[in-house]
Amino acid sequence: MRDVREDFPILQRRIGDRPVVYLDSAATSLKPQGVIDAVSGFYTQSTANIHRAIHRFAEEATEQFEDSRRVLARMLNAEAHEIVFTRGTTESINLVRSCFPGLERTLTTAVEHHSNLLPWGFGAGGRIVAVDSGGTVDMAAFEAALAPGVDLVAVSHVSNVLGTIQPLEELIAMAHAAGALVLVDAAQSAPHMPLDVRSLDVDFLACSAHKMLGPGGVGCLYAKAELLERMRPWFLGGNMVDQVHLDGYSLQALPHRLEAGTPAIEAVIGWGAALRYLAGLGLEEVQAHDQALVRYGRERLAAIDAVRVAGPEDPARVCSTLPFHVEGLEAHGVARMLNNRANIMVRSGFHCAQPLHESLNLTPTVRASFYVYNTEQDVDALAETLEAIVAFL
């Protein structure tokens, strides 16, 4: 993949006359100039609300907004009316939880981000399946949990902590055979690999723009059209209705009936620019690049005394993240030292996945996560700084 660092203005910033090494993309990604220009262009060229007025600005804004929906649909191999814009993955998951009828018996896993655990794993009918030491779903336990009858399985495609890629095709096939619908949390996979909702036969899929080079505050829920038709609108208000009278109202067609009120128009437009940028790179190339950095990172960190890498040992089973411990130091202390010594920015703590850490007997971890703008030199900087920290101790 070509060197794209020049496309990201923030990487030109220096702190204390040193460059920054950004290794926190699993939390949020940096933004290329084209995305910044798209958001700025909305403000400077066509600021208006969408789907309402017929003046020039409104028509331009509406077309840009809906073009982002079409671009995202093509990327997922979905139809445009199967894409509902939300505020992010968390809202998308909760939209299904609150609006789809009959979800009384649900199943999720111990590897989930809190956003895909709290809505399903607690309360009547919720079951949580264990994972192995590498973060892969225990398939025997999964099959056994399906047997009593489950309405919906909610599973992350990629662990936000360990980077473990789940055997999604097998999980979906097993769930469907048992009569369950499947919701996939793709927050960590959509930015890094091709996804085909038709081939996967997934029922619901959620992802966020800010993890895939886009702005914050917007995400999407994909769902099969026949399932969206069964969902009750969560919010009532402007644009989601076709006709309103004093004695009742009628709903808009999909997907607008599930998008009440004024959306984050500039964020959606910016996401469209991000999606086109990723398409230009090729998501197959992105995935290969990220996995190469994971492989190199595991090799470098494994050679350092007192550093212990968590997650699957096979880099082919890992997407973009490298979690680790430094013996004798707590995670926040390591992250602070990396930042102070070399402007290396990582995440530390439970990463909104405390039950996963506890089920695997892990203390809070340090997580380096990679994306298109990272290089082997970034991994070298991480390893060399960790070597210096260990030597100092």
Q: Indicate whether 39 belongs to any domain.
A: yes
Angle, in degrees to the nearest 10, between helices 376-392 and 283-302: 20
Residues 50 and 123 placed together within one structural domain of the fold: yes
Q: Indicate whether 15 belongs to any domain.
A: yes
Q: Indicate whether 332 belongs to any domain.
A: yes
Residues 133 and 266 placed together within one structural domain of the fold: yes
DSSP state, 55?
S
Residues 185 and 317 placed together within one structural domain of the fold: no
Residues 192 and 216 placed together within one structural domain of the fold: yes
3-state secondary structure (DSSP) of residue 233: coil
Residues 126 and 258 placed together within one structural domain of the fold: yes
Host domain of residue 327: 5-23+283-392
**If you count DSSP H runs as helices and E runs as strands, how many of each does the chain have, helices first?**
13, 17
Q: Is 352 a catalytic residue?
A: yes
Q: Is the separation of the CB atoms in 131 and 110 below 8 Å?
A: yes
Residues 94 and 14 placed together within one structural domain of the fold: no
State the total domains in the chain. Answer: 2
Q: Which ranges constitute the DSSP H helices of the chain? A: 33-45, 56-76, 89-99, 114-121, 139-146, 168-177, 197-200, 225-228, 265-281, 283-302, 331-342, 354-359, 376-392
User: How far apart are the C-alpha atoms of 9 and 352, rounded to whole Å?
Assistant: 29
Q: Indicate whether 28 belongs to any domain.
A: no
Residue 106's Cβ-count burial label (10 Å; 0-12, 13-18, 19+) is: buried
Residues 49 and 93 placed together within one structural domain of the fold: yes
Picking from 258, 214, 262, 268, the residue whose alpha carbon sits closest to that of residue 92 is 258
Q: Indicate whether 29 belongs to any domain.
A: no
Residues 124 and 262 placed together within one structural domain of the fold: yes
CATH of the domain at 338: 3.90.1150.10
- List the chain pLDDT tens, one digit each, 393 residues: 789 999 999 999 999 999 999 999 999 999 999 999 999 999 999 999 999 899 999 999 999 999 999 999 999 999 999 999 999 999 999 999 999 999 999 999 999 999 999 999 887 689 999 999 999 999 999 999 998 889 999 999 999 999 999 999 999 999 999 999 999 999 999 999 999 999 999 999 999 999 999 999 999 999 999 999 999 998 999 999 999 999 999 999 999 999 999 999 999 999 999 999 999 999 999 999 999 999 999 999 999 999 999 999 888 899 999 999 999 999 999 999 999 999 999 999 999 999 999 999 999 999 999 999 999 999 999 999 999 999 988
Which of 265, 280, 295 is the last residue before a domain boundary? 280
Q: Indicate whether 164 belongs to any domain.
A: yes
Q: Is the separation of the CB atoms in 283 and 258 below 8 Å?
A: no
Dihedral sign for Cα atoms in the order 135, 197, 92, 141: negative
Residues 290 and 275 placed together within one structural domain of the fold: no
Catalytic residue among 207, 220, 319, 352: 352
